[in-house]
Amino acid sequence: MRTRLALPWSHFRVLAAMVIEGMASAHPWFFLHHRLRCWLRPDGRHWSLSRLTGAVVSFRVLDVSSLASVRTFVDEWRSTEQPLHILINNAGINSPRGARSSDGFDLIFATNFVGHFALTLLLLPVLVRSGTPDNPARIVNLASVMHHWGTTDWIRLLYSPDSTTSTYAASKLAMIYFSDELQRRLAARGVETVAVCSVNPGAVNSDIWRHLPAAVKCLADVVFRLIFLTAEQGSRCSVVAALAPLPVPDGGVGPAADGSTMACGGQGKATPVTPYLVPYRVVSTLSWLRVPLECLGPFYGPVVCEPSGLARQHAPAKQLFETCLRLCALKDPEKLFT
């Protein structure tokens, strides 16, 4: 069986490379779709597809910051009549501040969230048909520990954000909201062939930091190599979320394969939310202790963790979903779920 994977990237090129390698080791056949070239240089070494021994990989152009590019990509994919088993929404940027996308949105929010929202919903009918109840298609949304500092004034964030940090944090909070709201809507329509999950790759020494000022970057490179995860470690959560039975949180209710229920705060209270995976062992529910562990704890391997309390609120998730449906001009949304 050929597993077909779509993996948008932008500044997370090194992290994406490690996800590719992890996927290739598990599946000898998959199709990959990026907005950038296929030759990378993680850790300063030349990296090429020759490392993916036995894998068949194809690349297609996709600029997730542009809704026109997203629609073109989806039209091309649909024209092939190929299935799609895994979608990993990996693309992300944290600069430049104040830049605009071709659609007039803040570039960071457009790249990190809006493009992924449109891409996922336009590909949703393909995903629904490609999965089965026993082996659902997977949608993996890349979040971040920065979601703890996210805000929910969506229109302001789209058109006039306060700062780069607040926009990046809000875009990662939006990815968790999107995961939960999409899974809720799938469940409400009785769709059991798609499972949604969000992951925090951890604090990773990747090339998302390459736009730091030169003087700062020299020091940052030294510090990051000491305390940050490697790109390979940072890719683990995405690979596990895409391929493996999801881990069970300590002392809680383990999520089903479709991510339908899990424990909140280790109290054993089942709620209709999607799994949130982190690469650290987060043992405390106290925010002042938990956030540092979720950001810079020692690498443990993918585990299910609870995001911030704000990230589990239904009202802002629903508002975000409805707002982006209008902004992306996605008509007849009911047809997307069939």
Write out the catalytic residue numbers.
168
CA angle 291, 220, 142 (to 5 degrees): 45
The DSSP call for residue 53 is T
Instruction: Assign 1 to helix, strand or coil.
Output: coil
Distance CA 86, CA 1 (A): 14
> H-helix or E-strand containing 249?
none
The DSSP call for residue 29 is B
Q: Per-residue DSSP letters for 77-117?
A: HHHHT----EEEE-------TT-B-TTSSBHHHIIIIIHHH
Distance CA 329, CA 261 (A): 31
Decide the pairing of beta strands 137-142 and 86-89: parallel
Tokens of 321: 């979903």
- Calculate Rg over the CA atoms of the chain: 18
Instruction: Assign 199 to helix, strand or coil.
Output: strand
Q: Quickly tell me which residue has 């707002």 as its tokens.
A: 323
CA distances, 205 to each of 89, 152, 302 (Å): 19, 28, 17
Q: Quickly tell me which residue has 């629609």 as its tokens.
A: 71
Q: How many CA atoms lie within 13 A of 129 on its CB side?
A: 11
> H-helix or E-strand containing 55?
none
